[in-house]
Each structure stands twice: as structure tokens, then as C-alpha cells.
Amino acid sequence: MSDTTPNRPTANHVTSHGVIPAPRSVRGSTRPGVPLDARTTLWAGPGTGTTERWLRLTLGAALGLSLPPADQHAGDAAHTVRLRIDESLGKGLGPEAYVLDVDAERGIEIRGGGSAGVFWGAQTLRQLIGPEAFRRAPVRPGVTHVVPQRTVEDAPRFGWRGCMLDVARHFTPKDGVLRQLDLMAAHKLNVFHFHLTDDQGWRIEIKRYPKLTETGSWRARTKFGHRASPDWEEKPHGGFYTQDDIREIVAYAAERHISVVPEIDIPGHSQAAIAAYPELGNTDVVDTLSLSVWDTWGVSKNVLAPTDNALRFYEGVFEELLDLFPSEFVHVGGDECAKDQWQASPTAQARIAELGLKDEDELQSWFIRHFDDWLTARGRRLIGWDEILEGGLAPGAAVSSWRGYRGGIAAARAGHDVVMCPEQQVYLDHRQADGPDEPVPIGFVRTLEDVYRFEPVPAELTPGQARHVLGTQANLWTEVMEDRARLDYQAFPRLVAFAEVAWSALPAPAERDFADFERRMAAHYPRLDALGVAYRPPTGPLPWQRRPGVLGRPIEGPPPNV
């Protein structure tokens, strides 16, 4: 017996096979399943090419199968995997919804409402096969894998299921970014927020401004631990992506039905850009020629000057960006812009008077509104951190609500779209436990269960306002994540819980069956092992995952619900 209501996932059979995120409906039987072996063929209908390629390259390699093409109307149906897009006019599946049907007599069919739905159905099929399907080559050649007889019907709760990766504080080489996209796809996450610039580094080639990477992509040394730490790593750190690297990343993501949203942070978090081009800074109050890429953490007071020169410079940056990223949204940051230099700058004060603005907050809003208009004129949409609300919300802009729920609530009530990513809930750089072995403890304790009980839609919103919540996003800020192992540790397994929150139609937080999720995680950990993910074990960090003596910034007590 299974619950097939559209707003709650079933537990029956999902538990026994550990499907994550939890599907909306699973029906099954004890009859024999479908074997995957040398006889297995693959038929791909129109529009399913991304999944066809992925199945051959990924599952085929893992299981040692060639998956030769099948004829739609001939061959052995019981040994065929069929991919098709639903063609029911007006009554079909949503674009990301799918039905996965595994039947011993009819073989395996994945039917999606669109090409993305077919791809997500293939991710579920991979989980049903078992951990060996997550490897890059067969570990038991010749062994037949049997997919259990199941019918899975599924669709996502949110259209924006995001993960942000900060590559400015610590650079992630291109192969690491591609790996991150694979891990996102395995968990049905579909928006990769690419934080490309900050005070500590500029990571994308801009051909008309070569010094952004020649100077801005590396720093002489790096603070080790929290910014109050006395320790330094006394060697240069840096790296950047060429424009061909970016094209490759965007294409790789598109093959996995992931949209890449680039972020160029303005007008704050801009010291790396000012170090490369000193005229961008507030030259009337600070010697910008003496600035270098910042080597510590926190919020730099070196921000862009509110000049026409700065506007034209960043228009040039965004022109090249739009050629590389086809995404609807472009993120402009807009957060933590220190106003000290503007308050002291005659140029900034003259601009405030010229524009008839009230204060520096409105000056920041003017800066953001300029690029909102500029992007809108080119068919794109601006999104920024919730500070863009200060001094007046930019018309047409969407908001990443990071300081809590409050900014998202205000934006939704004003009719603006919102992505919920409150720091207190889904900043995965925050520590996972309060024990002394937790490496570089930052922020509040956010356990796996805490993330699983995160609710993206605030109860204060009316149904009409709640429709402005595009979805949710987990953020990975890398000040204390210096390499892939540290990134893995902070992200996993909590990103798995987050993925279920973003995809599945779960009950209210207090009613969620975390015990069932833990049982399914017991089946999921071997998949992460097969993928080589250095996750935090349920029992705590392994000896080599600890960082004894490295200063962090723990915050005691439960996080405020703001």
C-alpha cells in the first residue's frame, strides 16, 4: 500500500531502497525486477538526448555496459531502457516531473514532462541499482544488476533548488567545479550559484580588462582559520577560469539540467578589482594605488566609487559575462557594502546631492538600480543579496534572502521573487556539532536534522505572497574550506538533507520523519563513498578531518529565527 497524494512522499518501499530526495509516490511488488546486462539496450525518444548520453557515459561506465540503441518497435522490450517525454496535451507532467516504471515484462521506462524530468528519473534509476552505479568503472565485471520492480511518480516542490559555491576566498579548480555539478545532479539540485569575485580574488577572465586576473586573481598569503586567528599560510593563493573554462562549465551544467547563475559582487566586496584597477576605488579618500588583493577575511571597507567610470567598467564586465552565461538571472551581490569611504568622499557626497538621494543607503540602491535597468534591457533579471532592499528595492529585482527570513518576507510582500537561503539555517560553512573535534568551528550548530527541518517558505506569507518564493539555496562560503576535502566535509551529508527539503513535498518541520530519512541515509552513505565524497560521518569527524588548534568563531545557542 502506498500514499499517492500529490503533496506528501510515500515511505513504503522508498525506505527499503533509500531513494533521496524522497519521491512523491512509490508502488512496488516482490516480483522479479529487470536485469541490466549485455542484453540491455537503450531507446531514447525526441528531446531526451542529455539523459541518453549521461546513461551511456555514467551508468554504462560504472556497470560495464554499452547500452546499444534499440528500435522503438522491435527488439526485446523486457531488456530495454526507454526514455520519452510525456505528450499528454494539457494533462501531462510538469517539465521536471517524471514517472519511472520498472517492470519485468516491459523493461524500464522513464517518462518525463520535459527533458529535465527524464534526467531526474535517470538519477532515481541510478539509486535503485545500488552503490556500484556511482563508480566510474565496474568493480565486479560480468555481474548482473537487477533493478527492483517499482513505479515511481515524482515532481519537485521548488523550481529553484540551488547550491552556491564561493571560489573567491579559496579557489576551486575547474575539475572540482565539474565534480560539484555532478554531485548536485545526483541530488536533483538544479541551480549552481557561482560566486566568482570578492575582496580576496577575481576568478573569471574578462578580455577587455586583463589585469582583473593578472593582478586580481591571486594574493600573497592567506589567513588560516577565522580572521582573528594569528596563523597565516605564507604562500601565494590564486587561480581563475578562462572564458573557455566557463563555456565548458556552463555546457557541462546544461547537460545535467543545471542553470549556472554567475555572481559579480558590486559595489562592495570589490577590493580585488580595485587592486587591479585603482581608479575604480574612492581615490579622493584612500590611496588605492597601494591596495593589494585582500589576504584576510571579513568585510573590506574598500568599495567601488559611485562614478560613471565605475559604471562603464562594470557594464563592460557584464557584457562579456552575458556572452558566457545564458541564465535568466545574473547575481550582482549588493551585500555588506561598507559606507565609510562614501561618507568621507567629496565625490560620493556630490553624487548623492546630484541625484537627490537621502543618504549612502540610497546611493547603493542607485548603483544596483542602474544594473537592474541595464540587465533588464538585455533580457536578463538581476538578483542580489537582501541588502539591495536598503534604500529602496530595485524594481524587477529578485532577492537572495541571506540575513534571515525578514528580507525575503519584505520582498515577497512587495511582489518581488525570492530565493530563501537564511544564514542561520543553510549556510553550510556553519559547524555541524558543538564538540571539540569539529574542525574550525564557525557560527551556529546546524546538524543534519536541523537542515532537514528547515522550511523555506515563511508562515507569515499569504498564499499569493508565497508564490514569489522561487525556491531555496544552500551556500558554501570557503574562508575556512581550503581544499576539496574540507568542502566535502562541510557540504555532506547536510547538502543531501537540503536537497530533500528543496525537492520533496515534506510535512511541516516538526512532523518530518527524520528517522526515516536517517534510514535512507544508511543506504546513501555507500553511494557517497563510491563517489569519493569525504563527508562527515554520523559519529563525528575522522582523525584526519579535524583541525586542532585552528581558531574558529563558534556562536552558542540556537540560531535566531529572524
Q: Write out the catalytic residue numbers.
A: 198, 269, 336
Which residues, including other chains, have CB under 8 Å from residue 258's CB and lie 6 or more apart? Answer: 181, 184, 185, 189, 190, 191, 192
Please work out, in degrees rounded to the nearest 5, the angle formed at the alpha carbon of residue 517 by the alpha carbons of 514 and 520. Answer: 155
Contact between 435 and 552 (Cβ < 8 Å): no
Q: What span, in angstroms and rounded, lies between the C-alpha atoms of 402 and 395?
A: 19
What's the DSSP call for residue 514? H
- Distances in Å between the Cα of 375 and the Cα atoms of 280, 378, 418, 429, 562 are 21, 5, 18, 31, 31
Tell me which amino acid residue 68 is: P
Q: What span, in angstroms and rounded, lies between the C-alpha atoms of 329 and 397?
A: 9
Pairing between β-strand 232-233 and β-strand 222-223 as defined by DSSP bridges: antiparallel
Which region, left, alpha or beta, applies to residue 302 given φ > 0 means left and ψ of -120 to 50 means alpha? Answer: beta
- Give 211: exposed, middle or buried? Use CB within 10 Å, 0-12, 13-18, 19+: middle
Which region, left, alpha or beta, applies to residue 303 given φ > 0 means left and ψ of -120 to 50 means alpha? Answer: beta
Residue 252 C-alpha cell reads as 557541462
Q: What span, in angstroms and rounded, lies between the C-alpha atoms of 489 and 238?
A: 22
Contact between 11 and 507 (Cβ < 8 Å): no
Count how many Cα atoms sit within 13 Å of the Cα of residue 548 in the half-sphere of its side chain.
4
Q: What span, in angstroms and rounded, lies between the C-alpha atoms of 388 and 6?
A: 36
Which residues, including other chains, have CB under 8 Å from residue 457's CB and lie 6 or more apart? Answer: 420, 466, 469
Q: What span, in angstroms and rounded, lies between the C-alpha atoms of 163 and 185?
A: 11
Q: Give SS3 for 17.
A: helix
Q: What span, in angstroms and rounded, lies between the C-alpha atoms of 120 and 118?
A: 6
Length of the chain: 562
Asked if the peptide bond before residue 267 counts as cis, ω within 30 degrees of 0, the response is yes
Residue 95 C-alpha cell reads as 517539465
Count how many Cα atoms sit within 13 Å of the Cα of residue 18 in the half-sphere of its side chain.
18
DSSP 302-321: --B--SHHHHHHHHHHHHHH
Cα end-to-end span (Å), the chain:
41
Residue 322 C-alpha cell reads as 552575458
Q: What span, in angstroms and rounded, lies between the C-alpha atoms of 222 and 292?
A: 13
Among 506, 522, 530, smallest CA distance to 457 is for 506
